[in-house]
Structure 1
Amino acid sequence: MKEIQDDLTQMPENDSMSKPYVFFINGMSCSNCSGAIERVVRANNESISILSFNADFTTADPKRTTILIDEPSDTSEEARQVIWTKLRSLIEDVGFKCEDYDYMPGTIASASTTTTETQEEVNPTGFFENVLTLGQNLLTSHWFLGALGCGTGIAMLILFLTTGGLPLIAMLPLAGISTLLTLVLGARSYYEAWQKLIKTQTLTMDTLFAVSTISVLLVSIASFFVPWLPMMFEAGLLIYGFRHIGIAIEETIKEKISSARFQDRAPQKVLLYSKTGSKDIELSEVKPNDMIIISPGEIIPLDGYCEENSIIYNTIITGAILPRLFNKGEKVLAGMKVAEDAVPLKIRVSRTAKESYLARLDKGIADSLVEKAPLEIKTAQLLTYFIPTVIGLAVLSGVIIGIFFPPALAIQCAVSVLVSACPCTLGLIIPLAVKTGIHKGAEHGVQYKNAKVLQEAEQIDAVVFDLNGTLTTGIPVVKKWAVLDNTGFSPDQFLAHCAALESKSAHPVGKAIHSFAMKNSKETVVASKPNDSHHSGIFGQINNKDYTIGSGSLMRGIGVSLTEVEQIENMLGLEAGDSLVFLAREDKLIGYMVITDPLRDDAFQTVKALQEMGKEVHLCTGADEATAQRYAKALNIKNVYANAVATSLDLNDRSKPVYINELQKKGLKVAMVGDAANDAQAIAASDFGIAVLSQNSDELTQQNASAIIQNGTLLPIGSAFAISQQTVSNINQNLLLSLGYNLATVLVAGGLLLALGFTLNPGVGVLLMVMQACCILLNVWRFKEQSLPHLEGGVSPEIKASEELSSYQLMRQHTPKFSCDLEIGCCANETTEAQPNATPSLWNSLVLPEQQAPSVAQNMNPFQAPC
């Protein structure tokens, strides 16, 4: 898959381009932290053009942070390292720790597996070092610190409540121990709050906890001298105890939600096959043209080509839940899975691990997260006011309650307000949902360009499809041909003239005609003055006579008898996928070819899925009206716009961009689905462009697209919209939950319960905050596991899942079989059953009457093409 850069289409060629600088930063807790870093980096780099700054809060420390910089395209690696080092120093000056330049997440230096018990006895220091490291990890883990704080705090609370008060000699050591323990549990929080305050004048979540716990400690110590002040030594312990437990729970759920790299799914050791035998080697050691063996049930780790037939799950490409048959020589991609009941599969490797489909997916996901979704930007702006607002509400709550109630209750309520509100979850909602959505899309064969388009896809009302190469396979073949009577042309002369006119054609149909004619004709002629200005054919001169090859509409345009053209069209009874190409000299027909471009196997299912989603489906193609209508009827598409050129000079032209604009003027949000260069302008003009990889894929088309669909399937188009809808729905649910929950907890903590005679312990306020985070994270996990409706109960075209035929299968049931020679582009009717490796049969339109076309040999005495 071609990589898509956010602003590639706007960059001057060979001048400058956006380059990502990636950092892995420890200590960031929310967007306020990243915002502080961004302000410092931008303020101290006037000579560097920073395009965007994005931190990924969906993972545990260190958090991946990407700074996109506009720099000259010829910047050397040494210069990039200098810039990276400068940026790192600025980040660390703010108070955050940055990992080294060559740091890679998940790469842990593993100990040698060859160490024996004898070696451990000889060198026992390794054992003690491991024990020391294990103990250090335990003592610094959030689970241990949380258990220590909560356990001690609850014990003190029970002691105070059951005894009714302790003597001074007992309270002094308890006060000292609890104060010291609170400071130890919150040491990191106090440090971070102070650093961010003095270096960037930023208030963060650490500020709220630092202010609340220090207030609790000061008031509790003062209570020894001022009897009416509350003694709340247990509150500081409970606050940080629940805080650490909350972080531990959050990181655990994040690990469940934030999927590992796609590359981690592949086995890291593979079985290398050779004539002398097989051996296990590291995945990184495999080179192109090596042959490896994949066992049944295993993930295919590298891109390559099958050396034998096999049943394979290509779920990572199509999202389909059923496997299909892959034939010998067919391409497979890393991430596909060999079926459990299949035989071991040999594949010849075409790409290394660093260039595999899984590696490209991981890089594509990382790149797509650089640009923030519009809603995420607005939420980040809201968060800048969140913490000052919470501090203001805490002070206001304390003052108001202090007027009507004892000061002890006022202080307790103010502290509870500080610790119960949670800005971190509000800043986490959108990045986590977006990352989950983009990752889910990759699992279903959709590569979103960025977070912005993921959010926008849900708003699409109409989906416009290109025809050839998008809804069809894009590999046209000659199905049949004939020379008309009384033309004076022999079969060889007819084919030679077709080959001459199409000799320089770049169109797939022209290439198929030229290849077929050259292989089957014994004569050659040369065409002069070829003119391909018309989108439906080519004009040229052969032996000083004008010839035209093209569609029926083009023939009518040059004066060919309308009756003659219609007679041939009606006689042939063309199927969906068939199109007629005529050859004419002056205004007289010489012969014709039936070209077929079969519909993709899942075209009907995809169109139906989009219609069930409530989206209008349109067909916009350069094909003639009759051909377009045949395809449209087969796919149940009501809106057809035929004879559309790729681009337009004015609004009166019949073109794809003009049609897109007409739909947009009606108030529709329009998606355009295409594959080739002639779709690039239409995709750019649409609100959401989808590029389908095919034989005719164009890089510029992919650059203009909002999403890319893998070759060979259309089902991911439906997945692109379904995943977007699920993502936006999850964001809305969690935003509503977070805002409502924060408002409720602030009101409750701020004294609402006083009307009922209750007060809220600050520790309970922290527990409420932890519960909020858990609810939001669990809802994201639900979204991750949520199925896509249009894929539920799907039927694999290659492997029948049940006795009941789908409408798609019914459509193909009565269609005649064809065997195809893709090299020459030839098809002929077969009377025998299709072989297992034969090209799938053509689709037969349900709306056309089931009748045999009159024999061409009887009516027109054609010379049938050999196949």
Structure 2
Amino acid sequence: METNSKILTIPLEGVHSEHCALIVDDTLAKTDGVVTHKVELNNQQAKIEVDPKQFKLAQLTSTIRDLGYDITTVKKSFPVEGMTCASCAVSVESILSFEEGIISSVVNYANATATVEYVPGIAKPENFKKAIQSIGYDLIITESESQEDEIAERHNEQFTALKRRTIAAAVFTLPVFVIGMFFMDMPYGNWIMWVFSTPVLFWFGKSFFINACKQLKHRKANMDTLVALSTGIAYLFSVFNTLNPEFWHSRGLHAHVYFEAATVVITFILLGKVLEERAKGNTASAIKKLVGLQPKTVIRLMKDGQQEEVKISSVILGDVLLAKPGEKIAVDGKVLSGSSFVDESMISGEPIPVAKNPNDTVFAGTINQKGSLQYTAQKIGSETLLAQIITMVQNAQGSKAPVQKLVDKIAGIFVPIVLVISILTLLVWVIFGGENGLTHGLLAMVTVLVIACPCALGLATPTAIMVGVGKGAEKGILIKDAESLELAKKVDTVIFDKTGTITEGKPSVVASLWKEAQPNHIAALYSIELQSEHPLAEAVVAQYSGTMPQPVSDFESITGFGVKATIDGEIYFVGNKRLLNENTITIDTHYAEFIAKHAELAHTLLYFAKGNTLLAILAVADKIKETSIAAVSELQKQGIEVIMLTGDNEETAASVAKTVGLNRFKASVLPEDKLAFIKTLQSEGKIVAMVGDGINDSAALAQANVSIAMGKGSDIAMDVAHMTIISSDLMKVPQAILLSKQTVATIKQNLFWAFIYNVIGIPIAAGILYPVNGFLLSPMIAGAAMALSSVSVVGNSLRLKLKK
């Protein structure tokens, strides 16, 4: 074994046979940097010897996943402390990417978090923390029940300390500014300014110099570097001129000092940080509101009837809990006794309270109204709907929109470029600036370093994403990532599933026509549908509830057609017309009028046959949602084509399409047909959004550019989807697209002003206007402009909250 090689144990998922193990082993053999390899099937792991210089774990993980297997990883978000600009986020992300065992890392400057996917056992959060600390930041890796409160408390303490430093710096800066601007020739003026400016730079502003030094050790640079260089150069130059004024006097020049510029810059930047932190706190208000919905304690009912108040963390599954009028529901559960109305607006976005009676479901964080409810705990901790919503919103706010990748690249090289520009500025002034070239050059160099801050650039995208995702959550629209929020504005085609999406998804039997309504036939139909998981089967079971079930054998679900089963040696079929055709079952003229009537009414027809004989046809109706018509109309007003795909028959689909105002639909489609249809639209250049709720929609949802699931649908659909409409109200779909348009417009505005600020500011700071009109920008004004640029970007993002 080579001395520089390492042995890694890679946990695998989905490798369940020798064949699978051989495929993974062959992949390892072809992977760069892998010296030896062995897949252990029993332990579901691979032991590999690697050359760290060549081996890339992220690349191997991607390859393994492409094969249909997986490497077990953990994805967690850690709070990051000490970041002051976008370059800081790039530095933290860069240092994490070199840590062993990390698959990916995303650092969000706006909400100060690092989301890391890593392989447990190889990577350790303790190592992440050490790496981050080495470049002047910190990572919070400890977890506790009160972690959110502790982090908030630490942030408040740091924010309070920042305000105090800013106020103190302003107090010490004021006399320096007054003397430097109005009494520059007063006796001992330079010495007085030196005394007052020293604590401003090296005590109240010491963090800039400390962080700049830490960055330098790792050959990196950020905003602290610019601030430390600019104010440090101005300070040292002023100290030299205070101690050795004759050096310049002997050359016929005045010994200028710039103590006021250095102190005012520090004070303005500190003030900008105060305003920025306050504004950034407002962008995360949606998360704060959601977290605030979680109650701290709950009343638990003991077996002897006694009540005790306990912490939420001590609640276990099956506990019986009490919600008094006005109290919050503590966990997800089922009502045992009592009746009331519960305000679920904070989760669903719907303002009307929902009636709750025994056997109804209640959700954590919702507010009980007038009555008392006793409910049993069914989901606790991170499993509750509220906890999942909070996690989804946090992940979405921490994710990066595609445009952010370009911004990050620019931020990563921005500071070095500015340093080069500042040096060139000094050289040009020294060479071409005449007798005051050096002093003007130093001033211009300092001004360039001060004005060129990447903060506004770094805040442009994430603050808008945070506000947009938060606003969506408040309206009952859960957005999984920033990329889908950015892409939704481009959608030109929306595809709706019918059942559970356009309709309520709660069908019921409204009519039936039997050839001979014999009890054994009804019992056979009831027994077969009792085995089926199809929504229409529930309607049949509900219609004939109370019937004595019969033993069913050879039950077979035929996707897109229906079911086939055997009872007492007889073969029965329950399904659509295609099922009859496939099994050569003819439809008597006895049923013709019934079929025509209910097809025209958009009722789904369910055919029940024994052998080759049709026994009955049942008409099943699924009510169209009240908002479906308005949602379709609103999307069409936005210039979006709306199409319905359904597994129902042509007649039913046509009737529903006509009712909601659709010009285009496809009926009798299987899950694979939906997938193929979306692929066809995409090949034509369409940006497709798929809206569905069922397992059969999951493939189509995964294929769509933007996928939207109904909150009352299947978990698989919601897992696959980019967005989830909690209330299943279709009007939320055009709202989501409009929110995307507003968010992207805000991002573009932010980026425009951030770029234009630097494009205009840097040349002016360098002195490009001096030959024209003698104007030379003061570092003090540059410092104020830099601080205001960040605040203006965050303020523009906050305007999203006010938009309808």
TM-score range relative to shorter protein: 0.7 to 0.9
* Deviation of 1:633 (Å): 2.1
* Deviation of 1:769 (Å): 1.0
* Deviation of 1:595 (Å): 1.6
Match runs of 1:485-524 below 5 Å: 489-499=516-526, 502=529, 504-513=531-540, 516-517=543-544, 519-520=546-547
Equivalent position of 2:682 in the other structure: 664
1:709 alignment partner AA: I
Equivalent position of 1:51 in the other structure: 103
Contact 1:632 1:640 (C-alpha < 8 Å) held by counterparts: yes
Q: Identify which of 259, 266, 279 aligns with 2:294.
A: 266
* Deviation of 1:385 (Å): 2.2
Deviations 1:132-159 (A, max 9, x none): x9xx979982223223333433432322
Q: Identify which of 727, 731, 745 aligns with 2:761.
A: 745
Equivalent position of 1:840 in the other structure: none
Distance of aligned partners of 1:170 and 1:757 in 2 relative to their CA distance in 1, 3 Å threshold? closer
Structure 1 alignment gaps of length 5 or more: 1-5, 112-132, 648-654, 788-867
Structure 2 SS opposite 1:106:
helix
* Deviation of 1:450 (Å): 2.3
Q: Does 1:211 align with 2:229?
A: yes
CA–CA separation in structure 2 for the residues paired with 1:477 and 1:731: 47
Equivalent position of 1:106 in the other structure: 148
Structure 2 SS opposite 1:230:
coil
Q: Identify which of 322, 344, 347 aligns with 1:317.
A: 347
CA–CA separation in structure 1 for the residues paired with 2:152 and 2:139: 22
Distance of aligned partners of 1:323 and 1:218 in 2 relative to their CA distance in 1, 3 Å threshold? same
Contact 1:540 1:548 (C-alpha < 8 Å) held by counterparts: yes
Distance of aligned partners of 1:496 and 1:43 in 2 relative to their CA distance in 1, 3 Å threshold? closer
Equivalent position of 2:332 in the other structure: 303
Q: Identify which of 698, 705, 727 aligns with 1:687.
A: 705
Contact 2:193 2:260 (C-alpha < 8 Å) held by counterparts: no
Equivalent position of 2:393 in the other structure: 365
Distance of aligned partners of 1:722 and 1:299 in 2 relative to their CA distance in 1, 3 Å threshold? farther
Structure 2 SS opposite 1:94:
coil
Distance of aligned partners of 1:184 and 1:110 in 2 relative to their CA distance in 1, 3 Å threshold? closer
* Deviation of 1:656 (Å): 1.0
* Deviation of 1:280 (Å): 4.8
Match runs of 1:422-821 below 5 Å: 422-484=453-515, 489-499=516-526, 502=529, 504-513=531-540, 516-517=543-544, 519-520=546-547, 532-533=557-558, 535-538=560-563, 548-552=573-577, 554-555=579-580, 558=584, 560=586, 565-572=591-598, 575-576=601-602, 578-584=603-609, 589-647=614-672, 655-694=673-712, 697-699=714-716, 701-710=717-726, 713-752=729-768, 754=770, 755-787=772-804
Equivalent position of 1:850 in the other structure: none
Q: Identify which of 143, 154, 158 aligns with 2:178.
A: 158
Equivalent position of 2:16 in the other structure: none
Structure 1 SS opposite 2:113:
strand
Equivalent position of 1:172 in the other structure: 191
CA–CA separation in structure 2 for the residues paired with 1:94 and 1:498: 71
CA–CA separation in structure 1 for the residues paired with 2:158 and 2:397: 33
CA–CA separation in structure 2 for the residues paired with 1:161 and 1:320: 59
Q: Identify which of 27, 35, 43 aligns with 2:90.
A: 35
CA–CA separation in structure 1 for the residues paired with 2:320 and 2:549: 44
CA–CA separation in structure 1 for the residues paired with 2:523 and 2:353: 44
CA–CA separation in structure 2 for the residues paired with 1:170 and 1:543: 109
* Deviation of 1:497 (Å): 4.4
CA–CA separation in structure 2 for the residues paired with 1:395 and 1:510: 77
2:175 alignment partner AA: A
CA–CA separation in structure 2 for the residues paired with 1:106 and 1:658: 45
CA–CA separation in structure 1 for the residues paired with 2:104 and 2:92: 12
CA–CA separation in structure 1 for the residues paired with 2:178 and 2:510: 87
Q: Identify which of 359, 363, 374 aligns with 1:333.
A: 363
Equivalent position of 1:18 in the other structure: 73
Contact 2:485 2:740 (C-alpha < 8 Å) held by counterparts: yes
2:794 alignment partner AA: L
2:764 alignment partner AA: V
Contact 2:552 2:565 (C-alpha < 8 Å) held by counterparts: no
* Deviation of 1:20 (Å): 2.2
Structure 2 SS opposite 1:239:
helix
Q: Does 1:97 align with 2:123?
A: no
* Deviation of 1:766 (Å): 0.7
Q: Identify which of 369, 378, 398 aligns with 2:406.
A: 378
1:376 alignment partner AA: Q
Q: Identify which of 179, 186, 196 aligns with 2:205.
A: 186
* Greater mean deviation of Cα atoms: 764-773 or 717-726: 717-726
Q: Identify which of 88, 105, 129 aligns with 2:129.
A: 88
CA–CA separation in structure 1 for the residues paired with 2:391 and 2:76: 14
Structure 2 SS opposite 1:519:
coil
- After TM superposition, the score normalised by the length of structure 1 is 0.76
* Higher relative contact order (Cα pairs below 8 Å, separated by 6+ residues): 1
What's the % identity of the aligned pairs? 24
RMSD over equivalenced CA pairs, Å: 3.6
Deviations 1:605-644 (A, max 9, x none): 4333433433222110111111112222222222111010
CA–CA separation in structure 2 for the residues paired with 1:717 and 1:702: 15
Distance of aligned partners of 1:698 and 1:347 in 2 relative to their CA distance in 1, 3 Å threshold? closer
* Deviation of 1:380 (Å): 0.3
* Deviation of 1:220 (Å): 1.5
Structure 2 SS opposite 1:54:
strand
Distance of aligned partners of 1:157 and 1:516 in 2 relative to their CA distance in 1, 3 Å threshold? closer
2:675 alignment partner AA: P
CA–CA separation in structure 2 for the residues paired with 1:362 and 1:602: 27
1:54 alignment partner AA: V
* Greater mean deviation of Cα atoms: 663-672 or 564-573: 564-573
Equivalent position of 2:28 in the other structure: none
Distance of aligned partners of 1:525 and 1:239 in 2 relative to their CA distance in 1, 3 Å threshold? closer
Structure 2 SS opposite 1:311:
strand
Contact 2:173 2:196 (C-alpha < 8 Å) held by counterparts: no
Distance of aligned partners of 1:164 and 1:466 in 2 relative to their CA distance in 1, 3 Å threshold? closer
CA–CA separation in structure 2 for the residues paired with 1:541 and 1:321: 49
Contact 1:496 1:525 (C-alpha < 8 Å) held by counterparts: no
1:509 alignment partner AA: L
* Deviation of 1:110 (Å): 12
* Deviation of 1:276 (Å): 5.7
* Greater mean deviation of Cα atoms: 381-390 or 345-354: 345-354
* Deviation of 1:91 (Å): 2.3
* Deviation of 1:566 (Å): 4.1
Distance of aligned partners of 1:108 and 1:182 in 2 relative to their CA distance in 1, 3 Å threshold? same
Equivalent position of 2:48 in the other structure: none
Structure 1 SS opposite 2:114:
strand
Contact 1:302 1:351 (C-alpha < 8 Å) held by counterparts: yes
Q: Does 1:226 align with 2:232?
A: no
Contact 1:672 1:682 (C-alpha < 8 Å) held by counterparts: yes
Structure 2 alignment gaps of length 5 or more: 1-60
2:116 alignment partner AA: I
1:726 alignment partner AA: Q
Structure 2 SS opposite 1:513:
helix
Equivalent position of 2:274 in the other structure: 248
CA–CA separation in structure 2 for the residues paired with 1:718 and 1:255: 29
CA–CA separation in structure 2 for the residues paired with 1:524 and 1:144: 79
